[in-house]
Amino acid sequence: MGYSKKAENITPSITLGITTKAKELSDAGVDVVSFGVGEPDFNTPKHIIEAAIKAMEEGKTKYTPTPGILELRKAICNKFKVDNDLSYTPEQIVVSTGAKQCLANAFMAILNPGDEVLVSSPYWVSYPELIKLADGIPVIVETDRESNYKFNLELLDKYVTNKTKAIIINSPNNPTGTVYSKKELEVIAKFAEDKGLIIISDEIYEKLIYGKEKHVSIASISEDSYKRTIVINGLSKAYAMTGWRLGYVAADKKISKLMASIQSHISSNANSITQYAAVAALNGPEDDQKNMVLEFEKRRNYMLERISKMKDISCIEPSGAFYVMMNIEKFFGRSINGKVINGSVEFSDLLLDQEKVAVVPGAGFGADSYVRLSYATSMDIIKKGLDRIEKFIEKIKK
Ligand code: PMP
Ligand code: GLU
């Protein structure tokens, strides 16, 4: 009996896998510290929950138009105008079951077999797999300290071919936390224009930015970039709504129509109750969100300070999102309890086994020299986890 080659060629999500593993251990009574999944530990703001309850009580529990209720698409257009100075009409918006589905729709709408998509590494785990599922080829562009872990013209020129169809920009980035400046985006927008590429801009961490950095959407760089960009965003991170599953996309009308058509067969509309809650989220007060960002910033600063004091460890300083990429390269070839560490997977497995701390191996992000720690967890847990990591690395022998 044969199975789909495409399905067998897909690696399950490592971020979700680690989280499940940590949860299972915790349910079994093990005192696990999880730096695994990237999801805010805050509860969804009360006014959003109340809007969902009201929607249910009012019977808003039926199918809605596939791309989403008009009220929500209008609220999304308003958000783009206010936050990003971008003008969209509701026909350009498609609401989906999480930004993940938006990305899947986008790749399916634009790719033909063999089309290449430029992805910078370290990358978020799902990009290559979603591209493969849509019959495309992910082309991994390795970035480093020198390029500030971002695309630049030199790198793009090196990897572009006549099969390149699209480029993914993820700013703020998961997992590095890097943020593109307007100037850097201008260079990429011009490159995309010259080569005729579609830009997929994943802006899900837009609201989670620290210090002086500012979020700029590449769609707002020029009239041309507006037309060629598919903007992806969602409520998971900005409003602590991961489980509600709501993402949205803004694009050229033709692409939006294709995405809605695909979705009409795969899942129909995003959850109706969530859509009404999303209207309340986008139109409502942002105080909870501001407090959440302040708290993330405190945790980020604390983590960076602690990691800077750890022997043989360095990290990429994040300006946004809620992850720290910790470089563990110096431990490769060394051992703990007779077990040699040769890569990020072994490091993570041993850390979980010995000290009960869950981190995500960088291998899943195309960056085996790193492990990713999420600081979307309480300060007490962060302290406890970092104490354990310190203890762990002290035990590693040369
Ligand atoms: N893009 C990035 C970069 C992410 O980290 C996530 C996290 N899950 C998503 C998209 C998808 O978000 P969701 O499906 O929860 O809206
Ligand atoms: N995006 C989050 C992460 O990277 C959530 C898990 C996922 O969807 O992959 O941890």
Average pLDDT over residues 70-88: 98
User: How far apart, in Å, are the Cα atoms of 12 and each of 16, 18, 116, 125?
Assistant: 8, 11, 21, 9
Cβ atoms within 10 Å, residue 112: 10
- pLDDT on residue 37: 84
Residue 268 domain flag: yes
For residues 256 and 303, state if they share a domain.
no
- pLDDT on residue 392: 95
- pLDDT on residue 162: 98
Q: How confident is the model at residue 15 (pLDDT cuts 50, 70, 90)?
A: confident
- Percent of the chain whose pLDDT exceeds 70: 100
| Domain containing residue 253: CATH number | 3.40.640.10
Cβ pair 132, 9 in contact under 8 A? yes
For residues 235 and 95, state if they share a domain.
yes
Q: How confident is the model at residue 27 (pLDDT cuts 50, 70, 90)?
A: very high
Please tell me the distance between residue 341's alpha carbon and the centre of ligand 1 in angstroms: 30
For residues 150 and 10, state if they share a domain.
no
Please tell me the distance between residue 58's alpha carbon and the centre of ligand 2 in angstroms: 33
Residue 324 has pLDDT above 80, yes or no: yes
- pLDDT on residue 68: 98
Residue 55 domain flag: no
- pLDDT on residue 87: 98
Residue 215 domain flag: yes
- Which of 283, 300, 317 delimits the end of a domain? 283
Residue 398 has pLDDT above 80, yes or no: no
3-state helix, strand, coil in the chain (%, to 5): 45, 15, 35
Cβ pair 336, 196 in contact under 8 A? no
Residue 152 domain flag: yes
For residues 313 and 366, state if they share a domain.
yes
Q: How confident is the model at residue 211 (pLDDT cuts 50, 70, 90)?
A: confident
Q: Which residue has the higher pLDDT, 106 or 213?
A: 106
pLDDT in tens, 230-287: 999 999 999 999 999 999 999 999 999 999 999 999 999 999 999 999 999 999 999 9
Please tell me the distance between residue 269's alpha carbon and the centre of ligand 2 in angstroms: 22
Mutate to test the pocket of ligand 1, among 204, 231, 372 (most ligand atoms within 8 A of CB): 204
pLDDT in tens, 343-386: 999 999 999 999 999 999 999 999 999 999 999 999 999 999 99
**Structure tokens of 389?**
């990591």
- pLDDT on residue 199: 98
Nearest CA to ligand 2 atom 5: 38
- pLDDT on residue 1: 83
| Domain containing residue 306: CATH number | 3.90.1150.10
The whole domain housing 214 covers 61-283
Average pLDDT over residues 287-312: 94
For residues 195 and 277, state if they share a domain.
yes
Residue 38 has pLDDT above 90, yes or no: no
How many angstroms from the chain centroid is the CA of residue 271? 21
Q: How confident is the model at residue 303 (pLDDT cuts 50, 70, 90)?
A: very high
For residues 252 and 382, state if they share a domain.
no
For residues 306 and 379, state if they share a domain.
yes
Residue 224 has pLDDT above 80, yes or no: yes
Residue 262 domain flag: yes
Number of domains in the chain: 2
Residue 398 domain flag: no
Residue 184 has pLDDT above 90, yes or no: yes
Q: How confident is the model at residue 17 (pLDDT cuts 50, 70, 90)?
A: confident
Average pLDDT over residues 276-304: 95
Residues within a 6 A CB radius of ligand 1: 38, 98-100, 124, 170, 174, 202, 204, 234, 236, 242, 247
Element (H, E) at 116: strand 116-121
Dmax (CA) of the chain? 65
Residue 30 domain flag: yes
Cβ atoms within 10 Å, residue 354: 16
- pLDDT on residue 47: 97
| Bridge partners (DSSP) listed for residue 372 | 325, 360
For residues 192 and 232, state if they share a domain.
yes
Cβ atoms within 10 Å, residue 253: 11
For residues 134 and 267, state if they share a domain.
yes
For residues 118 and 13, state if they share a domain.
no
- Which of 248, 266, 283 delimits the end of a domain? 283
Residue 53 domain flag: no
Please tell me the distance between residue 125's alpha carbon and the centre of ligand 2 in angstroms: 8
Please tell me the distance between residue 106's alpha carbon and the centre of ligand 1 in angstroms: 14
